[in-house]
Chain A
Amino acid sequence: MASSLRIRSAPRWTAVLLLWAALCCLFVPVVMVKQHDFKKCDQSGFCKRNRHLADTAAASSSWTAPYALDAASITFKDGQLSGTVLKTPKEGGEKVRLPLTVTFLESGVARVTLDEEKRQKGEIELRHGSQARKERYNEAGKWALVGGLKVAEGAALSEKAEKGYTKVFYGEAGKHQAVIRHEPFGIEFQRDGETQVKFNDRGLINVEHWRQKVEKPAEEKKEGEEEKKEEEKKEEEEEEKGEDESTWWEETFGGNTDSKPRGPESVSLDISFPGYEHVFGIPEHATRLSLKTTRGGDGNYDEPYRLYNADVFEYEMDSPMTLYGAIPFMQAHRKGSTVGVFWLNGAETWVDVTKAKTSANPLSLGTKGHTDTQTHWISESGLLDVFIFLGPTPADLTRQYGELTGYTAMPQSFAIAYHQCRWNYVTDEDVKDVDRKFDKFKIPYDVIWLDIEYTHEKKYFTWDPLTFVNPTKMHNHLDKRNRKLVAIIDPHIKNVGDYPVIDEIKKKELAVKNKEGGLFNGHCWPGDSMWVDCFNPETIKFWKALFKYDSFKGTAPNTFIWNDMNEPSVFNGPEITMPKDNLHHGNWEHRDVHNINGMTFHNATYQALLERKKGEIRRPFVLTRAFYSGSQRSSAMWTGDNLAEWSHLEASLPMVLNQGISGFPFAGADVGGFFGNPSSELLTRWYQAGIYYPFFRGHAHIDTRRREPYLAGSPYTEIITQALRLRYQLLPAWYTAFHEAHTTGAPIIRPNFWVHPDDEAGFAIDDQLYVGSTGLLAKPVTKEGADSVSVYLADGQPYYDYFDYTTYQGKGHHTVPAPLEKIPLLMQGGHIIPRRDRPRRSSGLMKFDPFTLVVALNKEGSANGTLYLDDGETFDYQQGAFIHRRFAFDGKRGILTSTNLAEGSRTAKLDAFLKSMARVRVEKIIVVGAPKSWKGKKEVVVMEEGAKESARRKKVAIEFFEGKGKQADWAVVRDPKVGIGRGWKVDFLG
């Protein structure tokens, strides 16, 4: 009996022990991203197929792409060339007709679009009775493009084209030329007669045409190994003669099966940049600015860069793996030229990058060796639709790309100050307590954030009645110091009873649908959820109503919104996102719009925030995690869930720089690292780096220890406060940089190559940055225990230490001391930097503070700079209500002037704004690198426009300071009392 008892309990014990073992695994230090959660190229059928094509082409010397432009079909009208490309299918039969358009735009940009006639006309059959649309997705432009599409009137066919080629001149003064080869189809884009970009140079073009699935006879019985072997052989043979169809009709990954009702439909193209050694762009990846190659080799990747918005948990450093957002815009750079391509496609996309080196020919003098960069773009579905930019400068590229996809929105001024976030501030009292502590420790901050826990059981648009008892009072409390609150609202809506939001979504079918056409259910924070489908105009209407103050009770004008999880993140979906065969508005498959989806969501939120109360129109602030080309028009982004590790701090700089040159500059990384607990040193260094993120937010995971700056303790708290105050001091310069981004597309923080496009030695530098056009050059410390950094100076100008005016001069690397309390920051000679020196509790309380101008003289003794200023809140600036000044110091004449850059005429709004700013003055002018001849000078003469005659030539004190050692001399003009919005002159020699 006893023994039987033992036998019975034995299996239970084993199970329990196993469970314990499993549980113990949980306490092993957290592991990084799970590779097997996300696809590699050969797990993604279309990527594997197209990469295989590339391998086949490379292996054969006689490879030609079976695509030819039918010369007879070519027409040219109104800057647009049309024709038909004929594809000869491998399997034989009828040629596939691919309508081609090449559009030449006024801006000098060309656009090449290739469609598929059969799908276009709907002459195909869908499998599984699918309701999906039959066309290739042709609405990416509807979401991504907002302008720049005016066709070039000057574009013209060239008479002189050789046989088999068509040539088009376009661009300013016809400097650009597109040379279209008919067979095999290919295009070379030239500037000033030199080829810059080549399409299909390697013959990798591929448009997978629609075909009927040929049902193969049922497989024979498997009997033993031999037959299996035979089967394998058969497969090999098949691969050789035909194509591998195994991924054409169905694909399974991680237990989820994609039904692929339209069969294989990928598009791909090789794009080469002859003579270009560096390519940048295609965010978002945790990698260097200058993209590594992807076909293996020492230190390179062996996977292509992937663009498929995904919720990647604790992502890996130095990887081509996909992240939360996608911008398929790439630029190639060499000395004297920048060119680029924008691959307008919202589906999953992979990009291979390879470089071909040509060594110098020792026999022919003068021919230097050069490097060509070759890229291979592969998308799962949609049109082949590419824009080609021919530069020639980085600024031309960002401007032209911005004309197409829009410039970054002009943010409210608070949005560029410091944001304090944590998952989660747990009660309204907690929020107020953090707020009080910042004041007590005299640390400035503008915005406090609430993560998902503020909601009542994860139902967005509600407040937890036990923990956020009085949100209105909390908002009022914050508003007293002009502070804001950002609350999270995600696209997944809890599917429960007694929740009006989901009721209406169900009633009006405003959510994404599954492949059968019913509303899609998935799992996210709230448990069972549905995802709002913002491709649907009705959803946007509904969404806008939800944010009205009287609908989202407890919110106020100082509430702003954070859109997270909009990749979309679906916990139980394939690759933690939505099944590709889900259906969106208009019956487009999710596969077609995946990368665009997140943008439609934050766009909807932006529209909702524009006017929450009739007549109260304010600039919205929305933070998004997922993004696409065009996201910059309505949101800021952050680099997602990083780790509190030095490597993540380091990687944040190239990532944010890359956002800047890719048209979405309002970007930042979580300061301190989201997961894990940073050491005090790491936290301090991260703040010192974070002040250079255009979007500057401290954030932490719910399982981490609290780490608000005041908790760090001495000396860390003091050092962090200095960093924060430095950001606040320079807010006028930052705001001006944002305005520049808003009007010209220029990045807010700029990599070396962008500022010095001809300095070859600095092209790959991505660990130091320039702030706007201010000449401020920062090199954040990203190494533990460092007490100095090596700063690269690209030119021969003097660079002055921001804090003590120590001068560094000479092209090359310079060692700048960087003990913990010191932020390596230099001022490039030749710039005038506007600051506001008085520390305040929030940026809103600095609005009427006087300015300090720092004039850092260049070798020639001159300098200039700009300042942009508006009410920081409304859209009145669009009606001229702003101050835009240019400051210039002429070394020869010894005169500093302030002139107006605003071109518009006087409007009532402008007058009102100027009146409100009338008493805001310049209180101090610091001239760094002041000439020795000023020694002993006691006065300068100040002249201000509109001043009374008696005050026309006002004498103002100046004090000269002699620098010690490497320190530059400097002089301080004491309170010239000139209006910031006025024209004035300071005569240093008078």
Chain B
Amino acid sequence: MGRSVSLITLLLLSTANAASEAPRPRGVGPDFAKYYKDSESFTCISNPSTKLDISRLNDDFCDCPDGSDEPGTSACSYISPLSPPQPDKPNDSLALPGYYCKNKGHIPSYIPFTNVNDGVCDYELCCDGSDEWDHVGGVKCEDRCAKMGKEWKKQDEARQKSLGAANRKRKELITEAGRLRKEVEDRIQTLQTEIKGHELKVDALMKSLAEIERQEKGKIVKAAGKGGKLGVLSGLAKARIEELTENLNRVRGERDASRGRIEELEAILKRFKEEYNPNFNDEGVKRAVKAWEDYAAQDRPGPDDARDRDLDEILKPDSESAIKWEEFVEEESDVDVLYKFEEYLPTPLRDWVDAKLRALRVTMIENGILAAPNTDAPESSAVTSARTQLTSAETTLNNDRNELKNHEEDLTKDYGPDEVFRALKGRCVEQDSGEYTYEHCFLEKTTQKPKKGGGHTGMGNFVRIEKVTVDEDLLADGKGLGSGERYALKYENGQHCWNGPSRSTQVILACAESDEIWKIVEEEKCVYRMEMGTPAVCGLKEGEQKGAPVHSEL
């Protein structure tokens, strides 16, 4: 090997004399050519105190502490913070980015020194095969640059074209987002006007209610519990039965809800029994399964529908079996008539007397002289109606206010760059992967749907937009994250995992002509990562589309 190296060095030197510009030694890129011009000696790039005879350049032995004397071999590849330390090479980083592959016909690039002469043709980085110049183990790497370059150009053109389309689509999305925002803003305006109107209305209604109530206070009210003892009893019975009915209704509702929960629990346990992993030999699990089996084996009567129907009948206020309370209301007694002396007066006088009496009565009540009318007594229809009106006006006002608040908040919410995600919110994209179909609904949720059937699994609900740094290969077709900073949508608190956390998903976005999920990975138990293309993130200043994407590793 040594002989062949010196022969090459000689060749390099002889050609150097012939040409005006010295050709660069093997593996040196144009950026570093200036360090390799001297034909007599070589000075280590980061350690200028070390000057070597030119014969030590590329002789497959590492002399420079920064490895710069071996641009064309792997001799200095061990100089790295990732290697075990050595006392005689205190520098632990290389001066050069790697071995330079000229890749004529394609794009030049650097390949790590560790890959030089290791017997593998690394065409992805070194299409000219020059990284295996020593042919160790008989390996021969042909020059594939012409073919790969041509293919790449073709793909690059397609990519550029697609990129153009993607950018146009993004513009459309931004326009759409703008329109949606405008809609919100308009709505806010409308709401603000409406709210003002509603506020006035509520004020007015409140006043009118107060007045009516004041009037009501003056009414002489029939004392409760008059009549015979039976009447009192029937009054009490009615009140009690109403109370009981109400409670029964509530209990029944609760029972139905519990039944639902039991069914859900039983379904969970059934699944648990079928799916638990017996190898964990976990006594707790085994006991639980056994307990479930015993439980499931017990014979239990199902819900009794007939009795439920009876109950319904009883509870219905207008059913035939219901007690008709009105039939039991006693007629007014003669004594009452006596009080109604007003009715014997002429109308104008009556009104006057009535007004005066009421005023007097109100004054007396207000001054604590007279007792207030029994509050348990039903309100008069006038009050009820006024109150209803007020409540309804207030509800409308509150609704409007809430809507306004939501819209206002929405305007301050993060919708990503140029609020582009406003246009995508709720849009869903699906992708098949292995045994599942995955669905991503922008800014809403991610879902896993088993192809074999069975329930869908929530993989998280939208929480925020974030930025992440990625470093991935970009496939030739441009479908991939590449490297740099990317937008990501974070979804959390999905369905809880057995023996694990609640599911969550990070959807990382890169530019593409259409919305498509490229890859779904379960990075760790129940933590998912989706890589997705969307025009929404195109043309952002990360510059991910520049140059040959596959070469972005170095």
**Chain A interface (Cβ within 8 Å of chain B)?**
1-2, 5, 8-9, 12-13, 15-16, 18-19, 22-23, 25-26, 28, 30-31, 34, 37, 311, 313, 426-427, 429-430, 433, 436, 440, 442-443, 466-467, 480-482, 523-525, 569, 571-572, 576, 702-706, 718, 721-722, 725-726, 729, 802-805, 837-841, 845-850, 916, 919, 921, 923-924, 926, 959, 961, 967, 970, 972, 974-975, 977
Contact = CB atoms under 8 A, between A and B. Distances in A.
A841 B288 contact: no
Nearest to A722: B84
Interface string B508-552: 000000000001011111000000000000000000000000000
Interface string B419-436: 000000000000000110
15 contacts: A1-B310, A5-B307, A15-B295, A25-B284, A25-B287, A28-B284, A31-B282, A436-B473, A442-B82, A442-B112, A523-B278, A706-B524, A725-B84, A805-B87, A838-B114
B84 A803 contact: yes
Nearest to B63: A974
A440 B471 contact: yes
A725 B88 contact: no
Contacts of A30: 282
B4 to A, nearest CB: 9
B120 interface: yes
Given A34-B283, A440-B553, A702-B525, 18 more contacts: A2-B251, A12-B262, A19-B288, A25-B287, A31-B283, A31-B284, A311-B279, A440-B471, A480-B120, A524-B279, A704-B525, A725-B83, A838-B77, A839-B77, A845-B119, A848-B119, A848-B136, A919-B1
Interface of B: 1-2, 59-61, 63, 74-75, 77-78, 80-88, 112, 114-115, 117-120, 136-137, 248, 251, 255, 258, 262, 265, 269, 272, 278-285, 287-288, 291-292, 295, 298, 300-301, 307, 310-311, 434-435, 451, 471, 473, 499-500, 519, 521-525, 553
A722 B83 contact: yes
Q: Closest 5 A-B residue pairs measured CB to CB?
A: A848-B136, A845-B118, A22-B288, A25-B284, A975-B61
Contact of A442 (B114, B262, B524): B114
B404 to A, nearest CB: 44
B255 A5 contact: yes
A718 B84 CA distance: 10
Contacts of A430: 521
B304 to A, nearest CB: 9
Given A19-B295, A426-B522, A703-B500, A26 B248 contact: no
Contacts of A705: 524-525
Contact of B248 (A2, A523, A571, A923): A2
A975 B2 contact: yes
B288 A840 contact: no
Nearest to B248: A2
B255 A9 contact: yes
B452 to A, nearest CB: 9
A977 B4 CA distance: 13
B291 A18 contact: yes
B291 A837 contact: no
A495 B255 CA distance: 45
Contacts of B258: 9, 13
Given A12-B262, A37-B281, A569-B279, A721 B82 contact: yes
A726 B84 contact: yes
A848 B132 CA distance: 12
Given A16-B265, A803-B85, A466 B435 contact: yes
A66 to B, nearest CB: 43
A178 B434 CA distance: 68
A481 B87 contact: no
A18 B287 CA distance: 11
Contacts of A8: 301
Contacts of A847: 119, 136-137
Given A466-B434, A467-B435, A838 B75 contact: yes
B483 to A, nearest CB: 10
A974 B82 contact: no
A864 to B, nearest CB: 23
Nearest to A975: B61
A86 B445 CA distance: 82
A923 B284 contact: no
Contacts of A916: 137
Contact of A467 (B112, B278, B434): B434
Contacts of B301: 8
Given A466-B435, A839-B77, A26 B284 contact: yes
A23 B292 CA distance: 10
Contacts of B284: 22, 25-26, 28, 31
Contacts of B87: 803-805, 961, 967, 970
B288 A576 contact: no
B109 to A, nearest CB: 15
A777 B292 CA distance: 56
Contacts of A838: 74-75, 77-78, 114
A5 B258 CA distance: 13
A837 B78 contact: yes
A988 B194 CA distance: 100
Contacts of A805: 87
A481 B122 CA distance: 10
A974 B61 contact: yes
Contacts of B291: 18-19, 22
B435 to A, nearest CB: 5
A705 B248 CA distance: 51
A729 B84 contact: yes
A233 B116 CA distance: 85
B88 A972 contact: yes
B137 A841 contact: no
A722 B82 contact: yes
B156 to A, nearest CB: 22
A812 B293 CA distance: 63
Nearest to A36: B283
B75 to A, nearest CB: 7
B313 to A, nearest CB: 12
Contact of A19 (B282, B292, B523): B292
Contacts of B499: 703
A924 B78 CA distance: 13
A25 B525 contact: no
Most buried by B among A37, A722, A916: A722
Given A26-B288, A803-B87, A972-B88, A923 B75 contact: yes
Contacts of B298: 15
Candidate in A426, A443, A702, A838 with the most chain B CB atoms within 10 angstroms: A838
A923 B60 contact: yes
The winner among A26, A31, A311, A481 for most chain B CB atoms within 10 A is A26
Nearest to A427: B434
Contacts of B2: 921, 975, 977
A703 B285 CA distance: 16
Nearest to B119: A845
A12 B88 contact: no
Contacts of B281: 34, 37, 313, 571, 576
A12 to B, nearest CB: 7
B395 to A, nearest CB: 36
A846 B117 CA distance: 10
A22 B292 CA distance: 10
Contacts of B285: 26
A921 B2 CA distance: 10
A222 B213 CA distance: 89
Contacts of A571: 278-279, 281
A967 B282 CA distance: 54
Nearest to A835: B84
Contacts of A15: 295, 298
A417 to B, nearest CB: 14
Contacts of A524: 279
Nearest to B310: A1
Given A569-B279, A916-B137, A725 B288 contact: no
A523 B277 CA distance: 11
